[in-house]
Amino acid sequence: MAFKMKKYSIAAGVLSASLLLSACGGNDTTQGTEKNGESTGDKVVVDIFQGKVEIADQLKALTDEYTKQNPNVTFNIETVGGGADGAAALKAKFASNNAPDIFTNDGDQAAQVWLDKFEDLSDQPWVEDAFEGTLDGMTIDGKVYGMPLNMEGYGFAYNKALFEKAGISELPKTLSELEEAAKKLDAAGITPFSIGYAEWWVLANHGLNVPFAYQDNADKFIAGLNDGSAKIEGNEHFKQYFELLDLTMKYGNKNPLTTDYNTQVTLFATGEAAMTQQGNWIQPMIDKISPDMEVGFIPMPLNDDPEKAGKVMVDVPSNWVVYNGAPDADKEAAKDFLNWMVSSEEGKRALTEEFKYIPAFKSIEAKAEDIGPLGADLLKYSQEGQTYQWQFMKYPDGAGQEFGAALQSYVAGKSTAEEAMKAMDSTWAKLKK
């Protein structure tokens, strides 16, 4: 196995099959049929609530295809950008007795929070087809409550043409090498980084994950935060994270705290910046804006130790779940659609060619030309064993948003790194269970 990541490997898994937020953020959109809240007669309306704005159109097209084959089932899709906005909107739907039939959950800590709303999916056909370990975050007391969307990864996406223009012939793996690359880009009149720090999750989940992942034993460190024997403040790797933040701010676009997800990705996709901290989920947006852009991934290095610094972050980002309180007809239609999504030829093709997803199931063939260059680069890192697991899903509920506020305060120059780390320790102590 190429690397440890909840006991599965993209290299061992996806490649053996021959070769789908959080991310996310952006605009709210609603698509599909008018919501009726319940099934009437033989007609069923399945309500879907999801946070990936970048697949909104593709998901609508896929549900339309399912409706062609199952005319009695139509869909109401509501896409609300992930993170705090999405979580608040989902809670509001449940509070107003307007709960969706299908929604997404990050697993691990989030699964514990929402457990009483989940339908048991242990008997579904796709369970046996999932790669080893991909169900771990949604398996509680031996029961499977969620279907993994996909496998995803992130680091700094980079524009190969702009790197070449700046004379960068060797990809940076360490912090010093990244700084040298930024200087070369800057000297060539190219903005090195597109940074969207208006999004708390860019900083607090994906960014802060790096120092968590750098710990010698991440689970032991998190356990130490829970029992009070460990602290973020003063930890070497968390201090190093602020050095990386400083580098991106020094060589990044102006007004990072008002730059949202869509703007961040657009700056990169239009060639106005050479790098951006995002994942392979931005591939459809890049393809829409600049179809021929050659892109890849480099790590988010915190220091000059190439063994630690030369890795990217890969894991299962989210899972489809079914609401256990939905009408029986809605639940059955929801389960059938999810199974069809990962077993039918139409679903498999859409997930890889349209969603650009790295599949979490053995039976789905995904070629590099299907999932895009960013996905293909993640496969390369996987094959070389250069990956870290996502740790931010293990934060106490609500901690990510507070971490984001502390880090945004630092970016704004309103607090020091030490004050931000102290604030994060206080947040963990307050919210831990």
80 Ramachandran zone, left/alpha/beta (phi>0; psi -120 to 50): beta
Q: Say yes or no to pLDDT of 164 above 50.
A: yes
- Counting residues of the chain whose pLDDT is more than 70, the rounded percentage is 90
pLDDT band at 227 (very low <50, low <70, confident <90, very high): very high
What token pair was written down for 365? 């063939």
| Cα–Cα distance measured from residue 265 to residue 194, given in angstroms and rounded to the nearest whole number | 8
Q: Within a 10 A sphere around the Cβ of 254, how many other Cβ atoms?
A: 8
> What torsion, rounded to 10 degrees, do the Cα atoms 158, 281, 201, 97 define?
170
193 bridge partner residues: 252, 275
Q: Nearest to residue 45, comparing CAs of 318, 266, 337? A: 337
Exposed, middle or buried, 71 (CB in 10 Å: 0-12/13-18/19+)? exposed
Question: Any residues with CB less than 8 A from the CB of 314 and at least 6 apart, and which?
Answer: 3, 5, 10, 151, 152, 153, 378, 381, 382, 387, 388, 389, 390
Q: Alpha-carbon distance 320 to 341, whole Å?
A: 11
The whole-angstrom separation of Cα 289 and Cα 295 is 13
Q: What is the pLDDT of residue 199?
A: 97
Q: What is the per-residue pLDDT for 84? A: 63
Torsion angles phi and psi, residue 167, rounded to 5 = 80, 25
pLDDT digits (tens, 9 = 90+) for 400-425: 999 999 999 999 999 999 999 999 99
Mean pLDDT within 13-23: 36
The number of beta carbons lying within 10 Å of the beta carbon of residue 42 is 9
Give the C-alpha separation, 433 to 90, whole Å.
23
Domains of the chain in start order, with CATH, are 20-151+317-364 (3.40.190.10), 153-314+389-431 (3.40.190.10)
pLDDT reported for residue 141: 97
Q: Which residues have a Cβ under 8 Å from the Cβ of 341 and sit 6 or more positions away?
A: 62, 66, 347, 350, 351
CB 194 within 8 A of CB 278: no
3-state secondary structure of 417: helix
Element (H, E) at 84: helix 84-95
Contact 390, 381 (CB under 8 A): no
Longest dimension (CA), the chain: 67
Query: What was the pLDDT predicted at 83?
Result: 62
Closest Cα partner for 358 from 128, 136, 153? 153
- What is the rounded average pLDDT of the residues 187-207? 98
Is residue 30 predicted with pLDDT exceeding 50? no
CA 159 to chain centre: 20
- pLDDT bin (cut points 50, 70, 90) of residue 17 is very low
Burial of 198 (0-12, 13-18, 19+ CB in 10 A): buried
Which residue pairs, CB below 8 angstroms and at least 24 apart, start in 415-418?
A: 417/239, 417/242, 418/233
Instruction: Give pLDDT, residue 149.
Output: 94
pLDDT band at 82 (very low <50, low <70, confident <90, very high): low
List, for residues 95-115, the tens digit of each pLDDT value: 999 999 999 999 988 999 999
In tens, the pLDDT along 258-290 reads: 999 999 999 999 999 999 999 999 998 999 999
Mean pLDDT over 60-67 rounds to: 98
